[in-house]
Amino acid sequence: MNVSMNWLKEYVTIDCDVQTFADKMTMSGSNVDRIEKKGEAITDVVVGKVLEIIKHPDADKLVVTQVDVGEKTIQIVTGAQNMKVGDLVPVALPGANLAEGLKIKEGKLRGIASNGMMCSVEELGLDPEHFPDAPEHGIYVIKGDYPLGSDAKPIFGLGDAIVEFEITSNRPDCFSLLGIAREAAATINTDFHYPKIQYNEVAGDMNQHASVEVIATDLCPRFVAKILVDVDIKPSPKWMQDRLRSVGIRPINNLVDITNFVMVEMGQPMHAYDLEELTHGKIIVRRANDKEKMMTLDGEERELDNTMLVIAGEEEVIGVAGVMGGEGSKVKDHTGMILLEAANFDPASIRKTSKKIGLRTDASTKFEKHLDPNTALIAMERACQLAEMIGAGRVMAGIIDVNKSERKPNKVAYNVGNINRLLGTDISEKEMVGYFKRLEFVVDEDQKEILAPTFRADIECEADLAEEVARLYGYDRLPTTLATGTPTVGKKSFTQRMEDLTRQIMEDCSLNEAMTYSFESPKVYEKLNLGPDSHLRLAVKIDNPLGEDFSIMRTTTVNGMLQALSNNYAKRNEKVGLYEIGTIYEPKAIPLKELPKESQKLTIGMYGDCDFFKLKGILETLFEAFNCLNHAKWDPNIEVSYLHPGRKAKVIMKNKEIGYIGEVHPDVLDAYDIHEKAYIAVIDMKDLIDEASLDHKYTPVPRYPAVNRDVAMLVKEEILVGAIEEVIRARSGKMLEKLELFDVYKGKQIEAGYKSVAYALSFRAADRTLQEKEISKTMEKILKGLENELGATLRK
Amino acid sequence: MKEQLEAIKIKVVKSLSNVADLKALEEVRINILGKKGELTSILKGMKDVEPKDRPMIGALVNEVRADIEAAIETAKNSLVSKAREQQLKEEVIDVTMPSNKKVLGHRHPMHIVLEDLKNIFIGMGYQIAKGPEVEEDYYNFKALNIPEDHPARDEQDTFYIDKNFVLRTSTSPTQVHVMEHEKPPIRVIAPGRVYRSDEVDATHSPMFHQVEGLVIDEHITMADLKGALAEFVKELYGEDAKVRFRPHYFPFTEPSAEVDVSCFKCGGTGCNICKGSGWIEILGCGMVHPKVLEMSGIDSTKYSGFAFGMGLERITMLRYGIEDLRLFYENDIRFLKQF
């Protein structure tokens, strides 16, 4: 909401400078986004009178003028042709600063001295669109009488300050100058001068000339109309144009200007119809028919549907209600009788219509904000007053006020103790009542109740009153205390601590933390080679997405990770390792009947200077930190379409599958434009954390020596070393302290289809030195087991 | 015999001065003192010495032996220390050569900041809660005092799944979940992802992060809200940071406020970061609306509380001077490694 300080000061006395005023308003709840001081940089422009114009002796296109600037007359050479002797013009004196950094100096033009410049509106930094009387590429000729040599800036509204307020959605009343003025008066505790509205009517009865029927009563809570006769369409007076210009509205003609003026002042959009264009003077407020067409004022043809509210004549639509009028019934220069409309429309309907037809106007933005229907009548009367005042027409007696739903003021009880308890203050009742009155609340001090004005429908309960008290008392004056009451223990849960630990370990393992989007495109199913029946295809779909790329909630974190790797690859980053703890969203069924399951996945992705076992090592490091490495197993029997079929494994923790690891399938790498081997792992955080423990049990450090034995065997190639280790562990019981694979060999001296595998075993007992006999017995058991279960033969 | 002993002594001293290493020294020792050494050989001649002279000669022999042993020991020590000196000399390294430092990974800047926030609030007695991102319409709107036709529904540009489910537009629904499941006193923060239908640009993303806070207890006042957040701002931005509360509107709090901190770049005089105002908005807050308390099953006549919410992207951008929010989601390691 842009507010001109000059205009605002008509309704409220503001003595302080604009910055102080803005600060006060911000602190009372009307946040100031910006202050624009109009023409701040422009200096030394005065009113001058053209005394003489003669031709330049040496230049056809120049003239030499004498201009009276008050105390003296100066000579100015100019190329402009539009001014006449006797005209008042804005004159930039030597040393003047104009728009866009232009500086005026004394000089010569084709040998003739020129000691200043006559200005166009552009040179004063103004929009020529806002000055309908400004000539194209010419000097602006000032109308009216001003002392010669006086500052010309105020004539153009320069020197005014425009304050831009951020208005919150609970305060639609502040989308008007009067609303801001009321807030200003309450804030600085001064009087608020509401305009006195009065006008005369000419004989007749408008109801004889026009009628309004509201069919869609739900979408139009009020429709007020009056008729102006003897309408004389012409430019509005300068003061009204100045007001409109100050808030960025282009003056058009007196009638349009009146409706715009009232819209800014009262916050109520209005519309004027040429009564002669309305068959039988009839207006119908109804829903549009499907595919009904109309031409809006901007000359565009619009196709409507039956959710939209329109203003119609007997035959055709003449306006999209609350958004824009129609070309057909627009006020023309020769219009004699016009019908003025001040209506109230359903905000949601206006919002939807405006969105659907792609047309947001000053009117529609106002109607979207729950305007007070009571304002419609006041605004109509204000418009009539202005029409009479500026001679735009005369007001015919009679009024149409249809579907008149008047808003009742809210009654709210207050309890001074409660309000103080909520704020932590000790404000007296007298002071609170004073604030209420400043806000135009009617206070009943016996019943401890207030009546809020109808434009303050946001005041509904005591907490609302507490805020009114707090903001006028000053948020900055409220005490600052630390909550007493029952102490609580601040801490992280076990899960949160384990997530922290995971991040720490990942970073210790050289991985950088990534963050990827929760939503993605269904196209990723194809990129990841997913089969048509893959459970990952069952995803939550967004009904109104920002395009396909953001249209489903991810069911896997892999696409995000591969995309992140791909981004890095495209930027030629070498040796990239990333991790993310991210959420996936798994619906039970679509459409949703209950919330989807949201689970946290640790995802690791890397390329460059890495292999399967580096990634496996990172996971094992994590498992060690989680105290569950002993329970981890790696099983290649898993179907994952985006992994290399020979380089993948599911990760099993205590017989539960908690995730998988593998090299990315070359087809998938191609799809992501990664032309290097890449590895990924995905682990379910909850499943992992379920097996984690931060408890450590102490056992005494060993006092007896360990006994070491090596064992080398020949097994079939396809036997996994993991299986060999399982057998060794199972057969050696508690005595086995450590086993270490130190050699796997295929090739010369080894029969085809076989491999040689060698382990170093280390045995120890806590309570004695192991005897050779015990070791031999255990070794025998191990070898027998390997032989029986895996067909291994001992190498000697 | 006496003369022989003297001669050996002189010979030893002479040969020791020529000894270059421990091996040569050992040879000298064996030649003199060994089983077949010269001194040993002389001792074999003791039997021919007159018995009366034997004690004198014996003492002399011992004296010569001790002298020789001492001389060898001295020579040995000097050789050892020379060798150590030599070793140390040879082992000089260029300490400016590169190390084999472990390459550390880096945390995402938003999680660095989030961790700071968590620690500040944990220190103030808060726990950390979590709520669903795909949310029931009820929790995202109605339970937060945003009825069907409320303009706030449009302002928030909601992503809808269908008429019953949405992607949450703020972390505020978590307030309701916490209130429904826990009894006061409640002190929690709830960080998480939220979604709004904004096209991606330097300051907007359809997905971003918020941190919600909620305190419910008996006698909680707006002064307590100011106190808690003033403390938070000091922890986050330093003792000198000034904080300003100004009235604002949120449907689920009343009274409501926005919180500004004094611009950390210009200190309040006005610059491009604070758009000339000297203040930077960092969070929204307020006293939990009595309707919200009641809908969540909390007796609003007995309990009161405050809530606050802030954008993690924004706070992180301000902390590090990052100008483009898209960097957070591109995962370029040249960006990530800076933190």
Residue of A nearest to B104 (CA): A510
Sorted by where each starts, the structural domains of chain A and their CATH numbers stand as 2-38+161-188 (3.30.56.10), 43-156 (2.40.50.140), 201-402 (3.50.40.10), 411-473 (3.30.56.10), 494-691 (3.30.930.10), 707-794 (3.30.70.380)
8 Å CB contact between A195 and A8: no
Distance from CA of A159 to the nearest CA of B (A): 20
B224-277 pLDDT, tens digit each: 999 999 999 999 888 888 999 999 999 999 999 999 998 877 888 888 888 888
Cβ-based neighbour number of residue A362 at 10 Å: 13
Q: Which of A478, A508, A579 is most worth mutating to test chain B (most B CB atoms within 10 A of its CB)? A: A478
Q: How distant is the Cα of A96 from the closest Cα of chain B, in angstroms?
A: 27
How wide is the angle at C-alpha A231 spanned by C-alphas A228 and A237, nearest 5°?
110
Query: In the structure, how many helices (H) and strands (E) does chain B have?
Result: 13, 9
Residues in chain B: 339
pLDDT of residue A290: 93
pTM: 0.87
Low-confidence ranges of chain A (pLDDT < 70): 796
d(CA B276, CA A33): 10
φ, ψ at B51 (rounded to 5°) = -55, -40
Contacts of A492 in chain B (CB under 8 A): 118, 122, 127-128
A742 three-class SS: strand
- Mutation to test the A interface, candidates B107, B124, B134, B160, most A Cβ within 10 Å: B134
Q: Is the pLDDT of residue B9 over 90?
A: no
Report chain A residues whose CB lies below 8 A from the CB of B198: 546
Nearest beta carbon to residue B332 from set A545, A550, A567: A567
- Note the pLDDT of residue B265: 79
Q: Among all chains, which residue has been given the structure tokens 């060993």?
A: A702
What does DSSP assign to residue B289? Answer: P
Radius of gyration of chain B (CA): 43
Which residue in A has a C-alpha nearest to residue B248's C-alpha? A29
Q: What is the pLDDT of residues B37-61, one digit of tens each?
A: 888 887 777 778 888 888 888 888 8
| Confidence category of residue B36, pLDDT binned at 50, 70, 90 | confident
**What is the model's pLDDT at position B151?**
67
Contacts of B127 in chain A (CB under 8 A): 488-493
For position B266, what pLDDT does the model report? 84
Q: Please report the pLDDT score of residue B150 as a whole number.
A: 74
Is A516 close to B329, i.e. CB distance below 8 A?
A: yes
Quick check: A353 and A326 in contact, CB under 8 A? no
Q: Mind telling me how many Å the CA of A109 is from chain B's nearest CA?
A: 42
Please list every residue in chain A whose beta carbon sits closer than 8 Å to the beta carbon of residue B329.
515-517
Contact A423, B223 (CB under 8 A): yes
Cβ contact A421–B333 (<8 Å) = no
Residues in B touching A511 (Cβ below 8 Å): 105
What is the predicted pLDDT for the residue at A335?
Answer: 75
Residues in B closer than 8 angstroms to A617, CB to CB, are none
Peptide bond connecting B251 to the previous residue in cis, omega within 30 degrees of 0: no
Structure tokens at B143: 């339970």
CA-based nearest residue in chain B for residue A464: B254
Instruction: Check A471 against B228: CB less than 8 A apart.
Output: no
B111 contact residues in A (CB cutoff 8 A): 503, 513
**CA pair distance A397, A414, nearest whole angstrom:** 44
**Which residues from B are below 8 Å from A540, CB to CB?**
134, 161, 165
Residue A213: CB partners within 8 Å, gap ≥ 6? Answer: A282, A283, A284, A285, A402
C-beta atoms of A544 and B197 within 8 A: yes
Residue A186 has what pLDDT? 96
Maximum distance among all Cα pairs of chain B, rounded to whole angstroms:
135
pLDDT of residue B278: 87
Contact between chains at B125 and A488 (C-beta distance less than 8 A): yes
Residue of A nearest to B151 (CA): A169
Chain B residues in contact with A509 by the CB 8 A cut-off are 105
Partner residue facing B133 (CB), from A422, A506, A518: A518
Asked if pLDDT for residue B156 goes beyond 70, the answer is: no
Torsion of CA A766, A768, A771, A776, to 10 degrees: -20
User: Are the beta carbons of B334 and A571 separated by less than 8 Å?
Assistant: yes
pLDDT of residue B3: 80
The shortest C-alpha distance from B94 to chain A (Å) reads 27
Interface mutation target, options A345, A489, A493, A543, chain B, most CBs of B under 10 Å? A543
Q: Model ipTM? A: 0.89
Each residue's pLDDT tens digit, B58-69: 888 888 888 888
